[in-house]
């Protein structure tokens, strides 16, 4: 805890004065352009890896960067997605998995989670990704986990499109969906190209998008 307090004192002394005008502007308003959904993992820092300032990312973090499908009993993730899309009007949603993900490793390796009933229940939202991953052959366990991370991003992109606010924004051509996998060791990001269900280097293919906003023409 000592490190956190010292960090806060440093923030007050150095970082805050550097952005004083920004914080003054943000005191009563926010217009983030992107909803960024990623894992709670301490090594994944959305603002650092996208070089965004305060006020620019609306963030949801949880174990396994999961978005439960919309249900009659929506929880915190559903409420936050709805607020980001319907109220803040974000134009992009990123679902970002990452290398060495503990949650996805547990799912891929079918680890016993009897002692973690909360985690076990939560990770069932990745079940469709798990069965697809299990149906494939993998050269080794590392490859199996890496594949699970990617399949989970694809599954969560499908889940988020069951949310009414997201579907409506898509219908109006207002929101793009992105599926990313961040590699901790190299700092690289692979992005899902939905056209052929492959992940491409975001450096080499910076316009890669999982689901591009396309306004649907109303029937005459």
SS3 191: strand
Shortest distance (Å) from residue 199 CB to Zn ion: 17
Q: Give the integer Cα–Cα distance in Å for 147 and 141.
A: 10
Nearest to 64, CA basis, from 29, 100, 35, 32? 100
96 is in an annotated binding site: no
Residue 181 beta carbon to Zn ion: minimum distance, rounded to whole angstroms: 11
Nearer to Zn ion, 46 or 165 (CB): 46
Minimum distance, C-beta of residue 103 to Zn ion, in the bound complex (Å): 5
| 107 vs 166 by CB, closer to Zn ion | 107
Tokens 């609306």 appear where? 58
112 among the known binding-site residues? no
Nearer to Zn ion, 156 or 176 (CB): 156
Say which DSSP state 29 is in. -
Question: Residue 181 has which token pair?
Answer: 């996998």
Closest separation in Å from C-beta 5 to Zn ion: 27
Kindly list the residues in this chain that would bind Zn ion in the complex (CB under 5 A): 39, 41, 101, 103
Tokens (6 digits) for 126: 């990745």
- Which C-beta is closer to Zn ion: that of 101 or that of 155? 101
DSSP 164-192: HHHHHHHHTT--EEEEEEE-TTT--EEEE
Residues flagged as binding site for Zn(2+) = 39, 41, 98, 101
Residues flagged as binding site = 39, 41, 98, 101
């Amino acid at each position: 805890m000592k490190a956190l307090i010292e960090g806060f004192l440093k923030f007050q002394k150095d970082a805050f004065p550097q952005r004083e005008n920004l914080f003054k502007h943000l005191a009563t308003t926010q217009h983030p352009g992107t909803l960024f959904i990623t894992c709670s993992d301490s090594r994944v820092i959305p603002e650092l890896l996208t070089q965004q300032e305060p006020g620019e990312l609306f963030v949801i973090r949880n174990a396994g960067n999961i978005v439960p499908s919309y249900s009659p009993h929506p929880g915190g993730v559903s409420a936050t997605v709805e607020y980001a899309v319907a109220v803040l009007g974000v134009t992009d949603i990123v679902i970002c998995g990452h290398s060495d993900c503990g949650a996805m490793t547990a799912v891929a390796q079918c680890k016993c989670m009897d002692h973690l009933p909360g985690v076990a229940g939560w990770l069932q939202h990745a079940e469709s990704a798990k069965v697809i991953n299990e149906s494939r052959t993998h050269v080794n366990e590392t490859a199996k986990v890496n594949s699970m991370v990617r399949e989970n991003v694809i599954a969560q992109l499908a889940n988020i499109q069951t949310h009414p606010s997201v579907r409506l924004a898509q219908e109006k051509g207002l929101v793009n969906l992105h599926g990313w996998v961040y590699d901790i060791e190299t700092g690289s990001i692979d992005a899902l190209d939905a056209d052929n269900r492959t992940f491409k280097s975001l450096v080499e293919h910076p316009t890669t998008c999982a689901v591009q906003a396309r306004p649907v023409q109303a029937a005459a």
